[in-house]
Amino acid sequence: MARALINEPALILADEPTGNLDEENEARVTELLQQLHREGRTIVLVTHNPAMGALAEHTLRLNHGRMASGQEE
């Protein structure tokens, strides 16, 4: 993640950023992403983790590769 964030990008693409992490590091990554968003960064995140998805302002759900639903929080 450090390499991806070093140049302070306005857009962050995160594919399963907490997928293989233990609970402690998952919490750290989640807090970091929330902090980056509070600072004005846009984050596009792909996850199978419902807890991560619940933090999003906007969600899109795919089912078998097709758009199944979208919502704005």
- Please give the model's pTM, rounded to 2 decimal places: 0.82
pLDDT at 73 > cutoff 70: no
Q: Distance (Å, rounded) from C-alpha 49 to C-alpha 59?
A: 13
**If pLDDT is split at 50, 70 and 90, which confidence band does 68 have?**
confident
pLDDT at 17 > cutoff 90: yes
Q: What is the pLDDT of residues 18-59, one digit of tens each?
A: 999 999 999 999 999 999 999 999 999 999 998 998 999 999
Domains of the chain: 2-72 (3.40.50.300)
Q: Distance (Å, rounded) from C-alpha 53 to C-alpha 73?
A: 11
Q: For residues 53 and 59, is the Cβ–Cβ distance under 8 A?
A: yes
